[in-house]
Amino acid sequence: MAQYLDLKQGRIAFESYGDKGPLIIGMPGMGDVRQVYRFLAPRIAAGGFRFVAVDPRGTGESTTGWDEYSDRAVALDTIALIEHLGGPAALIGNSFSSGSAVIAAADRPNLVAGLVLIAPFVRPIRIPRWMVWAFMGMLAPPWGRFVWKWYYRSKMYPGSPPPDLGSYAAGLADNLKEPGRMEALRGFASDDHSESGSRLDRVDVPVLIIMGTADPDFPDPREEAHLLRERLSAEVQLIEAAGHYPQAEFPDRVAQRVVPFLSGLPFTG
């Protein structure tokens, strides 16, 4: 059941799994909602943590109408949520929200005990201009939400699609039908992650990178994971055959790596 944090321009929806233990905040990727952690969250809570899954501004049950949709804006919302719930917290970012996690850790290290970055977009990646135009055109009305549903369902889970993927993707499309949702999606899609990229060398907390080896969003997922390992002094776990959402494709394999990592973090503050 959703709870809400009221901020200056709107409210953020979040949901708790477990009520004891160190705080873990899970943020979804672009165009997704907090339920992307529906399989991983109970496994982490069973490991002795309070897992809080968040709908970023403009998505899921959070309100629309914000003046900015970016890595930086979501980082500020996340910092506010940590302060509201009582930190410090470990942050789990997926895709674009990994950039928000990096910004929060760099700017407020007293509130962030560690990072788990799943399929992380945390730096500008050189993409041919025509591909950028094509992607933004794909998200344009009136077909944007239908194309997003098709892409999400058919391309992003190449290894072991969860049994509810069809209904889950349909729910994402229904959510995008609500006023302001597609504007938020297109806003996030236009962020080049330069804000988080500029902070990579300032992150001074333990980092674990989870990357699916079949992730279609990266030219070479293994190479990206190892590059970020060097930049962030991170641990890396490659999930063979997984796509962009290994926490939903292979939740047991992800949890087996993430729970021990979280157990070793210094939750103080």
In a domain, 33, yes or no: yes
Q: Tokens 């999400």 — which residue?
A: 152
pLDDT digits (tens, 9 = 90+) for 17-71: 998 899 999 999 989 999 999 999 999 999 999 999 999 999 999 999 999 999 9
In a domain, 268, yes or no: no
In which order are the strands placed within the sheet that holds 235-239? 3-6, 11-17, 50-55, 23-27, 89-94, 112-118, 207-212, 235-239
In a domain, 216, yes or no: yes
pLDDT band of residue 94 (cuts 50, 70, 90) is very high
- Whether the pLDDT of residue 265 is over 70: the answer is yes
CATH number, domain containing residue 43: 3.40.50.1820
In a domain, 24, yes or no: yes
pLDDT band of residue 132 (cuts 50, 70, 90) is low
pLDDT at position 147: 83
Statement: the pTM of the whole predicted model exceeds 0.75: yes
Number of structural domains, the chain? 1
**The amino acid at 20:** K
Name the percent of the chain lying above pLDDT 90: 81
In angstroms, rounded to a whole number, what is the distance separating the alpha carbons of residues 208 and 115? 6
- Whether the pLDDT of residue 133 is over 60: the answer is no
Residue 227, both tokens: 């590059």
**For residue 154, what are the domain limits?**
3-263
Q: What is the mean pLDDT of residues 234-255?
A: 98
Least confident piece of the model among 47-61, 117-131, 143-157, 207-221? 117-131
